[in-house]
Chain A
Amino acid sequence: MPRVTTDPQPAWAERRPHADVAGLVQHARGGGTDAWAQLYQLFYEPLFRHVRYLSGEGSLVEDLVQEVFARALVSLRDFDGRSSFSTWLHGIAVNVVRNHWRSQSSTSTAHDRLRAMTTVREAVPHVDLDRAHLARERARVVYAILADMPEHLREAFVLRDLEGLAPAEAAAQLGISPGNLAVRATRARQRLRAELEKLGWLSPLEDVS
C-alpha cells in the first residue's frame, strides 16, 4: 500500500523551510521548467546518495542520477500522486540502477572481484588496516557479494540495511509490501553472512539454543 496520499516534505527538506515540493510538482506538471530546475536542486543530493548506495560505485553515479532526472522529466505526467514525489523519484532510481546492474552483470566479473577481496584479506590481516581503510575494504567486499545476489534480494537489502530507509518507504520504492521487503532483506542478510563467513570476514554465529 502506498505510504502517503499527499506530498509531504521529506525529512531533509523540513530543515529547508523554503521548499514547497507539492507546489513545485504541480507547476512542473504544467510544463514549468523553472519548477523542474528547483526540483532538481532540491532532490539532487538525496538522489545522489540513494543511487550511490544502490549502485555501490562512485564513478557512474552522476550519469545515473542524470538519467533518473531525465526519465522523471519525461514521465512526470504519469505521476499520479499516490506516493510522494520523493518516493516516486527514488523508485525511478531503483529502475535505472537495476538496468545498470543488468548491463554490468557478469558472473565471472563478480567472482573475480570476490577473489581479489579474498586476496586482500589474506595478504593484509585486518588488524593492520586503519579503521577507514578497513571500512572501505568491507564496503568493497559487501558490494562484490551483492553483485552476485538476485536483484530483488539485493535491492531490498541495500535500501533497508545499508541506506537505512524505513520499511514502508523502502517497500514503496520497490512496489512491494513491507512484509515482503522484510523477507527479502532477511534472506539477503543470510546469504551475505554466509559469504562473509566463507571469505573470513566474519566468524560463524554461536549457537545459543
Chain B
Amino acid sequence: MSERVDHDLDALLGQVAWAVDDDIGRTKAAWDFAAVVARAHELDPQQVPRELVREVEAAAPVVSLAQERRARRATRDDPEFDRILSDVRASVEHDAALRRHGIDTTGPRPVVAPAGTGRRVLFAAVALAAALVLAFGLLQGVRYVQMQREAPADAALHLGEATQPETDAATFETPERTSARAVQPSPPATDAAPILEPSPLEPEVAVATLRRSGTKTKKSAPAAPPAPSLSERLAELDAAAAAALRARDLAGAADKFEQIVALGGTSRLADLAFGELFHIAHRRGDAKGELALWKRYLARMPEGRFADDARAGLCRRADGAAKDACWREYLEDFPKGSYVRQAEQHLGGTSP
C-alpha cells in the first residue's frame, strides 16, 4: 500500500511541531529530584523509605547539565521539507543559545536549498537566521581582536598561554577571596576568573573572516608557532575529563574540570564544568567542597545556568534564621525559579 504524499498536512504538522518545540524552549522546567523521591515514597513506602526522602532533601539539588535536546527526526514522505523545517528549528535554537549562553564554536549551519517555489519563505527564514548568526560571530570576532590589543595578559590566558601562577590563581580561588573581591570596585582585568566574551567563531576563523570581508587587521609577527586555540584546549580537557569519568577517576575528572573552569571564564563550557564539579563533589560526599563550589560559582556567574540550583543548595544547607532569610532572598531573585515551591513550603512552615 503506498500512501499519498500530503504536503499540506505535513506542512501544518511541521508548524505544530515547531510550536511545541518553541514552547519547550521557552519553558524553564522546575527540577526537583527531592519531590520525585517524595512521590516515590508515597507510591511505595517500602521500596522508598522515609529516610531516603530525608537524605535526598538534605542533599544537593540535582542540576540540569543542559543536555542537547533530542533532534526531531524526519516524519513522512517529504524529506526536503523536513530538512528545511529542521534547519529553521536548528537556526532558531542556535541563535537562542548564542544569546543565552555565549560561546558556541559550531558556527552557522549549512542551509539546504529549497526544492520548490512555495518553500521560499521558509528558505528565506533559514538564510536570515544563518546571516544573523554569522553577523553575530563577525561582531564577536572584532571584539575578540580588540580585546587582544587592549588586554594582552587576559587575551594570553584566552589562548592558553597563561603562566602557571595565573592559572592557579583562577583554579584555586577561595570563595572568601572571590566574594570579598566581588564587592570591591576593582577593574575587570584583575579578576581571577577571566571573562570570555561569547565567540561563536574561533579567533583564527574570526580573523580570517575579517580578512575575507575586507576589514583591515593589524599585521602579526610571523615567527611564533601557532598555539592551540582556547576551544581546542578546552575540548582536549573535556575529552580527558570524560575519559576520567568513564574510568571512575573522579579526582582526575575534577582536576580537568577545574582546568576548564580556570581557562573558560564565564563561557558555556566553564559553566557546564562547574555543574560537573558539583556532581563530583556530591558523589564524593564532599559537603564542604559542594558549598565552596556553589559560592565560587555564584561569585563568578551569578546569572549562570546553575545559579538557581546553587542558590537553592546554599539555602538547603543553611540553618535557622539564615535559612529563612536565604529562601526569602531566593524568592526575590528567582521568582520563577525551579525551587520556588520548596522555598514557599519552607517559609510557609516557618513563617509566623
Contacts and interface: CB of A to CB of B under 8 A. Distances in A.
The answer to whether A and B assemble together is: yes
Interface of A: 10-13, 15-18, 20, 33-34, 36-38, 40-42, 44-46, 48-49, 52-53, 56, 58, 61-62, 65-67, 69-71, 73-74, 77, 132, 134-136, 138-139, 142, 160-166, 186, 189, 192-193, 196, 201-203, 205, 208
B43 A70 contact: yes
B65 A41 contact: yes
B19 A164 contact: no
Contact of B30 (A36, A45, A62, A196): A62
Nearest to B34: A37
A53 B283 CA distance: 33
B35 A52 contact: no
B55 A202 contact: no
B341 to A, nearest CB: 10
Interface of B: 3-4, 6, 8-9, 12-13, 15-24, 27, 29-33, 35-37, 39-40, 42-44, 47-48, 52, 55-56, 59, 62-76, 238-239, 241-242, 245-246, 276, 279, 282-283
A155 to B, nearest CB: 15
A193 to B, nearest CB: 5
A66 B16 contact: no
B12 A201 contact: yes
A162 B20 contact: yes
B87 to A, nearest CB: 15
A153 to B, nearest CB: 15
- Majority secondary structure, A binding face: helix
Contacts of B59: 37
A33 B9 contact: no
Given A15-B68, A73-B36, A139-B20, 13 more contacts: A16-B68, A17-B246, A18-B276, A33-B52, A33-B55, A45-B29, A56-B20, A66-B32, A71-B40, A77-B47, A134-B15, A163-B72, A164-B17
Contacts of B75: 160-162, 164
A138 B56 CA distance: 42
Contact of B29 (A10, A62, A70, A161): A62
Given A44-B29, A74-B43, A202 B9 contact: yes
Contacts of A66: 32, 35-36, 39
Given A66-B35, A139-B15, A17 B6 contact: no
14 contacts: A16-B65, A18-B242, A20-B245, A36-B37, A38-B279, A70-B39, A71-B40, A132-B19, A138-B15, A142-B12, A161-B76, A164-B17, A193-B6, A205-B4
A37 B44 contact: no
B123 to A, nearest CB: 14
A34 B70 contact: no
Q: Which 8 A-B pairs have the closest CB atoms?
A: A17-B242, A70-B39, A139-B19, A135-B15, A164-B72, A74-B44, A135-B19, A70-B40
Contacts of B4: 205, 208
Contact of B9 (A139, A160, A192): A192
Contacts of A40: 31, 33, 36, 62
A189 B47 contact: no
Contacts of B69: 12, 45-46, 49
Contacts of B23: 52, 58, 136
Nearest to A161: B75
Nearest to B55: A33
A196 B12 CA distance: 10
A37 B36 CA distance: 10
A132 B65 CA distance: 29
